[in-house]
Structure 1
Amino acid sequence: MEPQLLHGVTDSVATVVVRNPAKRNAMTAAMWAALPPLLDALAGDPGVRALVLAGEGGTFCAGADISTLQGSPVEAQRLAVAAEEALAAFPRPTLAAVRGHCVGGGAQLAAACDLRFAEQGALFGVTPARLGIVYPASATRRLVSLVGPATAKYLLFSGELIDAERALRTGLVDEVLPEGELGKRVAEFTRILASRSQLTQAAAKEFANGRTDRDAHWDEQARTSGDPAEGVAAFLERRPPRFTWTTATSG
């Protein structure tokens, strides 16, 4: 089976699956290059309200395919950073569903998602020190924002793997599920995400990611969207809200 990124949309949730079973779902250069345009296409689909990133089978992603680093490691890293930034910039909520190894470039992708749910037994590692590679500044800052400087240094300096429970304690993951329960919980939680206000989510994502120069924009969106009035009315009438704002209408 050729290494590839599989994707589909079900019930307003897009799923992207990393598939390279011969190398524990390691990302090839072609897969890194394919991710940004795939994300652009999914972002352009108004029916997509959340995105899940997963690995095929029992492994999330074992990192970059090391054989692709031999020719031009700088170019390989450029492709990885572009993919990471495209994932971080996806306009709707993103969630990494992690089973097994989430290492190197896999951890880089997981950290670029908004949320990370892991199955017990998952292992996480940031491993450039094993290869003498300088970890990208953007990825380092993102890791520090999740786990703090001390844990980021531990991971980066040592290249050691940590288990899901330690990842949960340090903030690298948001939930740890018993074996066999991850898929059910991810489906349940993404249904919740898809039912909530995209206006709230989009503004919160920008603010949480450090962008603070568009307060006026979001104030205007709140005034003109009708979503706040609909949310209050639905609450008082004890019915599910029918939010209409989407990223496509934001201007």
Structure 2
Amino acid sequence: MELPHSVSDGVATVVIRHPAKRNAMTAGMWRALPPLLDGLSADRAVRALVLTGEGDTFCAGADISTLRGSPGEAQELAVLAEEALAAFPKPTLAAVRGYCVGGGSQLAAACDLRFAEEGALFGVTPAKLGIVYPASSTRRLVALVGPATTKYLLFSGELIDADRALRTGLVDEVLPAGELGKRVAEFTRVLVSRSQLTQAAAKEFANGRTDRDAHWAAQARGSGDTAEGVAAFLERRQPRFTWSV
């Protein structure tokens, strides 16, 4: 199975594609994601990344048939892919239609932002399979929705709709049917127009890396982005930021 990807106007789009099983992730797909992200991270033309599913489903989880042989190995692959996505140094956004369940929720939670279409369904379902959800994934979920909602999702394995996901903080925006693609394109245009310096520092700080103030202060002094941003504001024009990851 493939993870098709493209780059256009500063935005990399990675597509989860496994239509026979609602875009469930196979072992090969989990393995393919970290090196793909490494390559996109190194591409200076990429300023933001969108993760989405093919068609009307984001990702229905892990392909259960791959769990029969070695469930521990399958989970390890999923965690490595999740951590690679979380570590991507540029803004990431999950664009969710339909089912976002199990491993799909792991991937969506590892993105910086999540936009969903009305009708999307979210669930974290290891309790249905007797699987211990990884500690790192649990902590990430707690950081997004708090301990009470995390327990609800993990204890029950029940699905929640997009409106409840929005209320709990699992998603950032919910769009009417047919409007998700337009809104994602609009918002990513905003992201690529902003300072990568600001974004990279903010991402580290928000993710708990609080020991790099001096590093980012030095980057700011040497970048010219601050001077450009102030000049552009005073001259009432769009800034031309040059610092890149």
- Match in the other structure for 1:66: 64
Look up the equivalent residue of 1:187 and give its one-letter code.
A
In structure 2, how many angstroms separate the alpha carbons of the residues matched to 1:210 and 1:246? 21
In structure 1, how many angstroms separate the alpha carbons of the residues matched to 2:243 and 2:10? 15
In structure 2, how many angstroms separate the alpha carbons of the residues matched to 1:68 and 1:215? 43
Q: Deviations over 1:164-193 (max 9, x none)?
A: 000000000000000000000000000000
For 1:1-251, list aligned pairs within 5 A: 3-247=1-245
Deviation at 1:122, TM superposition (A): 0.1
In structure 2, how many angstroms separate the alpha carbons of the residues matched to 1:7 and 1:182? 18
In structure 2, how many angstroms separate the alpha carbons of the residues matched to 1:44 and 1:204? 19
In structure 2, how many angstroms separate the alpha carbons of the residues matched to 1:167 and 1:228? 36
Q: Deviations over 1:97-135 (max 9, x none)?
A: 000000000000000000000000000000000000000
In structure 2, how many angstroms separate the alpha carbons of the residues matched to 1:41 and 1:71? 30
Q: TM-score, normalised by structure 1?
A: 0.97
In structure 2, how many angstroms separate the alpha carbons of the residues matched to 1:13 and 1:246? 14
Equivalenced residues, count: 245
Deviation at 1:4, TM superposition (A): 1.3
Q: Deviations over 1:183-219 (max 9, x none)?
A: 0000000000000000000000000000011110001
Look up the equivalent residue of 1:87 and give its one-letter code.
L
- The percentage of counterpart residues that share the same residue type is 84
Look up the equivalent residue of 2:101 and give its one-letter code.
V
Q: Secondary structure at the match of 2:4?
A: strand
Any gaps of 5 or more consecutive residues in structure 2?
none
CA-based RMSD of the aligned residues comes to 0.3
In structure 2, how many angstroms separate the alpha carbons of the residues matched to 1:225 and 1:4? 38
Look up the equivalent residue of 1:189 and give its one-letter code.
F
Look up the equivalent residue of 2:100 and give its one-letter code.
C
In structure 1, how many angstroms separate the alpha carbons of the residues matched to 2:118 and 2:186? 18
Q: Secondary structure at the match of 2:3?
A: strand
Q: Secondary structure at the match of 1:53?
A: strand
In structure 1, how many angstroms separate the alpha carbons of the residues matched to 2:30 and 2:222? 39
In structure 2, how many angstroms separate the alpha carbons of the residues matched to 1:200 and 1:154? 35
Q: Deviations over 1:9-56 (max 9, x none)?
A: 011100000000000000000000000000000001000000000000
In structure 2, how many angstroms separate the alpha carbons of the residues matched to 1:244 and 1:35? 28
